[in-house]
Amino acid sequence: MLENNISTVNNDVKTLVKDAQALFTAATALTGEKAEELRGRGMRALDTALAKAHEAQQSALEASKEMAKSADVYVKENPWRSIALAAGVGLLVGVILGRK
């Protein structure tokens, strides 16, 4: 779920930045009021992209904190199972690295 949200926001931000770049490119060819309007639209698009990126960052931070809390609770409730799992992962990594 989190990966889908991040991917969607990432695509939205890329689209907004490309749109802003196109507006700025078009504005360079124009002068006067029309150019100012295009530059303003470009700035608003960039502001929107920055806001979406900030929202995605906050969402990812909250989700990672929640996962860390869940892992902490699990380890506290199942200490021996957690030790066995860590030992198993360590053994697996040791075997893989020992073969190289």
Q: Which two tokens stand for residue 63?
A: 């989700």
List pLDDT tens digits, range 2-48: 566 667 777 777 787 777 777 777 767 767 787 777 777 777 877 88
Distance CA 30, CA 34 (A): 7
Predicted pLDDT of residue 46: 79
CA atoms within 13 A on the CB side of 70: 6
Give the contacts of 29 (CB within 8 A, at least 6 positions apart): none
- Helices 79-99 and 33-77 pack at an angle, to 10 degrees, of 110
pLDDT of 60-81, one tens digit each? Answer: 888 889 999 998 998 899 999 9
Taking the C-alpha atoms of residue 6 and residue 16, their distance in angstroms, rounded to an integer, is 15
